[in-house]
Structure 1
Amino acid sequence: MDASLLEQSEKCIECGICVKQCAFLKKYGTPKKIADNWQVHDEASLKMAYACSLCSLCTAVCPVKIDPRQMFLEMRRYAAASGRADFSAQALLMNFEKRGTSRRFSFYGLPVGCDTVLFPGCALAGTRPQRVMQLFDHLQGFFPNLGIVLDCCTKPSHDLGRSAYFHGMFAEMQQYLAGHNIKNILVACPSCYAVFSQYGKRLTVRNVYEILAREFWQSEPQLPAAPVTIQDSCVARFEKSMQDSVRKLIQARGVAFEEMKHHRKKTLCCGEGGGAYFVAPELAGNWAEMRKSEVAGKRIITYCAGCAHFLGKVGPTAHLLDLLFDPAAVLAGRAKVAKSPFTYLNRLLLKWKFKRKIEYGFSRERIFTCEE
């Protein structure tokens, strides 16, 4: 905590570049001002950090290469560890995570000889279960003994600062996988990719888009000529290889695209980031308004299920896997996407199908839970 505050206080030159980009910083001031005025016993200081989207745009545009996001995350961790964080506003998010790690919704299926698993994430499994199954079937051509893990990476708790709970849950997952000789995790969710990349030290994480981009995809004939645009996930703003693969796949399907002003490293948050919309919807909602002005009526393609949901309010939005497996339906606006509460039913049905899909050498439903 002290190191993060000191870095912002000493290195921030208050140029205002990050403030110009961000409604949160426009309200609270430069990173230096926030660091200098932060009071450990002040309730307003503790609550303020939860209004940040943790999207790292401030980090991306900073001319002196400091990381304000880390300071806000450390503030959250301090609030949680000291028992002074009030998570009542984020109850919906925490319950979503809790269901994902529960015995009812989780499933690990590891065939004999399996060293690689697909980890699709919570949102994709609920909104697009058919794409998860299509993706699994497709990846089996590369990994014949591919396993499946339906679980939550617990990034919500990570971003809320609930470090003890996050590390406990993630460590148990990693220990189980490594203990069953799993070496590779294939993820479709940028948030899962970020978590496994940073904390999955005993595992190698790969995103499915880089794998898919290495093969030949037939260009789809007679698609609409109107270009789409691409929403890069803020969690993956520094993942150039992932971004390149996404664009290669879109082009491979014969779809033209035009970039928005804020893309790749300088992409905008969709509004979901950091759970800020639960405590500061007016600030989180500003991201969507900025996106709306840049989209200019184009269809949005994204590789984050959360972005696909949140930006659906801005304009027609589809997930990249929808475009890969059924481009005509996507561009005609006919792609099927479930919404809550049906997403939970979809996850249960997907689990049921995977349990019966192939023969597993090892399988489990997760019963472990971690006390904070």
Structure 2
Amino acid sequence: AHYGSYPKRYVREIYNNLSIVMGMRHANKMINSCSLCGLCKEVCPNGLNMGEICQAARKLMVETGKMPPSAHEFALRDFRFSTGEQFALNRHQPGFTTSSVLFFPGCQLSAAKPHYVRKIYDLLCAKIPGGVGLSLGCCGAPAQWAGREELFQETLEKLAAEWQGLGSPQIITGCPTCYSIFKVEIPEASIETIWTVLDQLGVPGTIGETLSPRVFAVHDACTARNEPELQDSVRRIVQKLGHQVVELERSRETTDCCGYGGLMSFANKEVTQKVRQRRVAENEADYLAYCAMCRDNYAKEGKRVFHLLDLLFGDEELTGADKGPGFSKRQENRARVKKSFLQELWGEAVAEEKGINLVIPEEVQELLEERMILEEDLQAVITYAESTGSKFKNTEKNTYIAYFRPVTVTYWVEYSPEGDGFLVHNAYCHRLKIDG
């Protein structure tokens, strides 16, 4: 284990950390590094679930004002985008006033594989009578993982109200985490995953023909570790498409987390990378995931990983090897999913919001990902600098340096004019407030 200790000592450290009135709380990072995935409970002879302890600690830290804002602020900012006007949408299928089912693709599938969301929706419409409603949004998992119980409950109440407003149809999720959240938090609803539904309905014979038969090592999402029906459906679909399945050393109820669970990747990048690298080294075969975050996170470690939707709709030459979109692109993809549905299905005009043009080299893009800086942050800094003249000039490099603090984080950007936009040379951020 990264922290080199054992459960009894961890529990004591967490208790002591929560009991401190003044002084350093050294266990904060350890508490926030837990993926909350439940694996410890599965392998512990006594069934101890450290995730439950860490989750309870996070909630108490938030309630008492002891949670460091840096731990989850960026993740919660992304969460608010997914629950806001730029992505959220709830509609009956065009031409219907009721829905027999409601498709909830989830914020991460829409961010990572936006072109597949419409294809799955169209497939469901063709297969299921009575109207297929659409619900775009986030299930609330990031808020729950961050210990923001009030925000989590507000999100669920809003989702439940929207669901009831559509007639309380059966919910079909495109994400195993959404499924696990709704199953527990909205027990009165009938919940299925897209995979159990497609397994029952059958996959049209022409789908999946572009990918030649191969061997896949199936990675089970940690939020699906206790869902054998879902796990079996995934494997049956893979085999029906003509591929062979091999099992990883840790699969099904003992599967690993990809590093996104519990917002681990935002709180402790070192542990996250270790977790991912250990997992991708388990098997030389191509991996197959049915969670968008699992697919992208393992692909970031250089592993060839397919999403199950790639097997249905992907192009042989384009899938598996890509590392997935960055933070800014993920938000842009969600907004485009909503826009395309409104324009193409409901015939509604959507206003195009356009900021300043940015040219961002690949090496700078990697820095932005590492430092969790969005393109909209860069645009805010440059727009402020250009409109106010508040900027420094580096005469040696012929670049400008400027900063701007929109809320709680100060962003710095080094840039230069290029064509009708700006070339970004560097960017970083901190929480210090600059007076004067």
| Structures share fold, TM-score greater than 0.5 | yes
User: Does the C-alpha gap of structure 1 residues 225 and 165 become closer, same or farther in structure 2, counting only changes over 3 Å?
Assistant: closer
Partner in structure 2 of residue 260 of structure 1 = 248
Mind listing any 5+ residue stretches in structure 2 that lack a counterpart? 348-436
Determine the C-alpha separation between the residues in 1 that align with 2:293 and 2:67: 25
Based on CA coordinates, which of the two structures has the bigger radius of gyration?
A: 2
User: Does the C-alpha gap of structure 1 residues 48 and 305 become closer, same or farther in structure 2, counting only changes over 3 Å?
Assistant: same
Partner in structure 1 of residue 61 of structure 2 = 79
Q: 1:228 corresponds to which letter in structure 2?
A: F
Q: What SS does the corresponding residue of 1:274 show, helix, strand or coil?
A: helix
Q: 1:240 corresponds to which letter in structure 2?
A: P
Partner in structure 2 of residue 290 of structure 1 = 278
Determine the C-alpha separation between the residues in 2 that align with 1:36 and 1:343: 39
After TM superposition, list the pairs within 5 Å mapping 1:1-372 onto structure 2: 23-24=1-2, 27=3, 29-37=5-13, 38-39=15-16, 40-42=18-20, 43-110=25-92, 111-140=96-125, 141-217=127-203, 218=205, 224=212, 226-296=214-284, 298-314=285-301, 315-326=303-314, 328-329=316-317, 333=320, 338-358=325-345
Determine the C-alpha separation between the residues in 2 that align with 1:152 and 1:246: 23
Mind listing any 5+ residue stretches in structure 1 that lack a counterpart? 1-22, 361-372
Determine the C-alpha separation between the residues in 1 that align with 2:281 and 2:324: 25
Determine the C-alpha separation between the residues in 1 that align with 2:201 and 2:101: 19
Q: What SS does the corresponding residue of 2:68 show, helix, strand or coil?
A: coil
Determine the C-alpha separation between the residues in 2 that align with 1:224 and 1:210: 24
Determine the C-alpha separation between the residues in 1 that align with 2:292 and 2:210: 27
Q: Is contact 1:178-1:202 (8 Å) kept?
A: no
After TM superposition, the score normalised by the length of structure 1 is 0.83
Determine the C-alpha separation between the residues in 1 that align with 2:231 and 2:47: 22
Q: What per-residue deviation string (whole Å, max 9, x for no partner) do you get for residues 153-211 of structure 1? A: 12101011110111112112212321431231110111111110110133221111001
Partner in structure 1 of residue 402 of structure 2 = none
User: Does the C-alpha gap of structure 1 residues 335 and 291 become closer, same or farther in structure 2, counting only changes over 3 Å?
Assistant: closer
CA RMSD, 1 decimal: 2.3
Q: Is contact 1:271-1:286 (8 Å) kept?
A: no
More helix by share: 1
Q: Which has the higher contact order (CA 8 A, sep 6+)?
A: 1
Determine the C-alpha separation between the residues in 1 that align with 2:28 and 2:331: 33
Determine the C-alpha separation between the residues in 1 that align with 2:169 and 2:47: 34
User: Does the C-alpha gap of structure 1 residues 278 and 339 become closer, same or farther in structure 2, counting only changes over 3 Å?
Assistant: closer
Determine the C-alpha separation between the residues in 2 that align with 1:245 and 1:222: 21
After TM superposition, the score normalised by the length of structure 2 is 0.71
More strand by share: 2
Determine the C-alpha separation between the residues in 1 that align with 2:187 and 2:7: 31
Q: What SS does the corresponding residue of 2:158 show, helix, strand or coil?
A: helix
